[in-house]
Amino acid sequence: MACYSGNVYEWGHTLTRLLGPYAPFYWALLLCNIVAPQLLWSSWAKAHVPVLFAVSLVVNLGMWLERFVIIVISLHRDFLPSSWGMYVPTRVDWFLLVGSVGLFVTSLCLFIRVLPMNSIFEMQRLVRRPGSAPAPATAVPGRTT
């Protein structure tokens, strides 16, 4: 969008993203969020679960890189050159990242354990509707004779 505005600061910010010190993260973001999902146009890729899983992991990494690019690249160059600096993650930053991933995995495992997945089609035969007799085992759901 910087090319549509005549703002020199927008142009500088865009050039910093494309060619600056954090350029590998920006190009990896484009690769993960634009190129990797193009595999989903192939029927072969959609038929193989490991390929779908790999694409989902790459897109997830791309979304994390998007947040990184938005925050870090936007803040590492300010209007005052005296406040310019490079971001170096501390131990606290790494612990927060690992802790948030661990919390997500733990929540997912608890969700799977407490709320198992049941097929609605199979449950339809087991659950009785109020005021109706249970359907025989050979009956087709939804068809009346």
User: pTM surpassing 0.85?
Assistant: no
Residue 94 belongs to some domain of the structure: yes
What is the domain extent for residue 118?
8-122
pLDDT in tens, 32-41: 999 999 999 9
**The two structure tokens encoding residue 136:** 């025989």
How many Å apart are CA 64 and CA 58, to the nearest integer?
10
Residue 39 belongs to some domain of the structure: yes
Q: How many domains does the chain have?
A: 1
Residue 52 belongs to some domain of the structure: yes
Residue 135 belongs to some domain of the structure: no
Where are the alpha helices (H) located in 6-90, listed in sequence order? 8-19, 23-30, 43-47, 49-68, 74-76
Residue with tokens 């004779």: 145
pLDDT in tens, 70-108: 888 888 877 788 878 888 889 999 999 899 999 999 999
Which CA distances in Å does 122 have to 37, 85, 102, 139?
34, 60, 34, 13
